[in-house]
Amino acid sequence: MSAMAHLIGLKELSSEQIRQLVERGEYWAKRPMEQAELLKGRFVANLFFEASTRTRFSFEVAQKRLGAHVLNFIPETSSSVKGETVYDTLRTLEAMGVEAAVIRTKKEGLLQELAESVDLRLINAGDGTNEHPTQCLLDLLTMKQQFGRLEGLTVAIVGDLRHSRVLGSHLHALPKLGVKLLLAGPKSMMPQPALIPAGVEIVELDEAVQTADVVMMLRVQLERHAESLYISKEEYHQQHGLTLERAAMMKPGAVIMHPAPVNRGVEIHTDLVEHEKSLIQKQVTNGVAVRMAVLEILLKGSDIRWESSLATVN
């Protein structure tokens, strides 16, 4: 099975492949009530070894909208608790005719390892602090809907950059698509310099907020920190968060995004979460459309050349 049979990360995809996924997501976003039969009778499984609300449920909605049979694996009540590995779990599902597995795991790079040794299609729903490709794709779709284009936009990603797998995917995708990427955040939460591609700029928070078309705030991922936050949540908000005062400095037409869940009053003022500048709810809605596109292309379009028009994915 070729690597393109899976969605492991956006690092491996070309700009054309990313655009095709976003465009197909746009197709489904325009058909929010449509129930398709594209995956009728086919089995897919969701394996979440880390907590999730929107990724897990939007994959399930996407799978059901495409007509698939959905199996939800619960680690706590599975043979994982007896020590069965993810590899052996996938081989077990494979033996039952399950064709695709959506996996969220703490272990970075696990899907890459597994992709070489299993026959199911693997979809990365977040691996540690490495990548969260479908979140990035839904963010791109949301930006494209808002601005009508991606090329030439300036996106500022702000906050706990070091622990963000969403940033991990955007670091690869945005530069490939001609989007200018600015990073801002506390020094202790900056990504390793070796991970930052050429052309991506680290700037002060106020400059990021004033310059960007999209201000994307990231949650402080306390669960991934070795030590507790060195300042109070209120201090973090004032020093590093999107306060009402900072939001007032945004360019006309600029928007607020956040992959969520949000820490209201920490990285973002609570009044900004549902503010008219906020696309956070739209991002969640687009999660279904993008995940339909990914499932469709991996399962229905498995023999479709990525170079070909998505019009053939029908």
Which residues are known catalytic residues? 54-55, 82, 104, 132
3-class secondary structure per residue, the chain: CCHHHCECCCCCCCHHHHHHHHHHHHHHHCCCCCCCCCCCCCEEEEEECCCCCHHHHHHHHHHHHCCCEEEEECHHHCHHHHCCCHHHHHHHHHHCCEEEEEEEECCCCHHHHHHCCCCCEEEEEEECCCECHHHHHHHHHHHHHHHCCCCCCEEEEECCCCCCHHHHHHHHHHHHCCCEEEEECCHHHCCCHHHCCCCCEECCHHHHHHHCCEEEECCCCHHHCCCCCCCCHHHHHHHHCECHHHHCCCCCCCEEECCCCCCECCCECHHHHCCCCECHHHHHHHHHHHHHHHHHHHHHCCCCCCCCCHHHCC
How many Å apart are CA 256 and CA 298, to the nearest integer? 31
Q: Which stretch binds ligand CP (CB under 6 A): 48-56, 76-84, 221-229, 289-297?
A: 48-56
How many Å apart are CA 35 and CA 33, to the nearest integer? 6
How many Å apart are CA 64 and CA 62, to the nearest integer? 5
Our CB check for ligand CP shows the closer of 73 and 301 to be 73
Is residue 212 a contact point for ligand CP (CB under 6 A)?
A: no
* C-alpha closest to that of 142 among 43, 29, 47: 29
Is residue 302 a contact point for ligand CP (CB under 6 A)?
A: no
Q: Which stretch binds ligand CP (CB under 6 A): 181-189, 196-204, 225-233, 256-264?
A: 256-264
The distance of closest approach from Cβ of residue 173 to ligand CP in the complex, given in angstroms and rounded to an integer, is: 16
The distance of closest approach from Cβ of residue 56 to ligand CP in the complex, given in angstroms and rounded to an integer, is: 6
One symbol per residue from 156 to 195: x for binding ligand CP (CB under 6 A), - otherwise; what is it? Answer: ----------------------------------------
Is residue 260 a contact point for ligand CP (CB under 6 A)?
A: yes
Binding residues for ligand CP restricted to 107-126, rule: CB under 6 A: 126
The distance of closest approach from Cβ of residue 261 to ligand CP in the complex, given in angstroms and rounded to an integer, is: 6
Residues near ligand CP (CB under 6 A), total: 10
Our CB check for ligand CP shows the closer of 28 and 48 to be 48
| Among 259, 293, 295, 296, interactor with ligand CP by CB under 6 A | 259
Is residue 129 a contact point for ligand CP (CB under 6 A)?
A: no
One symbol per residue from 50 to 79: x for binding ligand CP (CB under 6 A), - otherwise; what is it? Answer: --xxxxx-----------------------
Which residue is closest to ligand CP by CB? 55
Q: Which stretch binds ligand CP (CB under 6 A): 81-89, 201-209, 223-231, 257-265?
A: 257-265
Our CB check for ligand CP shows the closer of 42 and 258 to be 258
Is residue 20 a contact point for ligand CP (CB under 6 A)?
A: no
Our CB check for ligand CP shows the closer of 44 and 260 to be 260
How many Å apart are CA 314 and CA 302, to the nearest integer? 12
Our CB check for ligand CP shows the closer of 115 and 136 to be 136
Residues binding ligand CP (CB under 6 A) = 52-56, 126, 135, 259-261
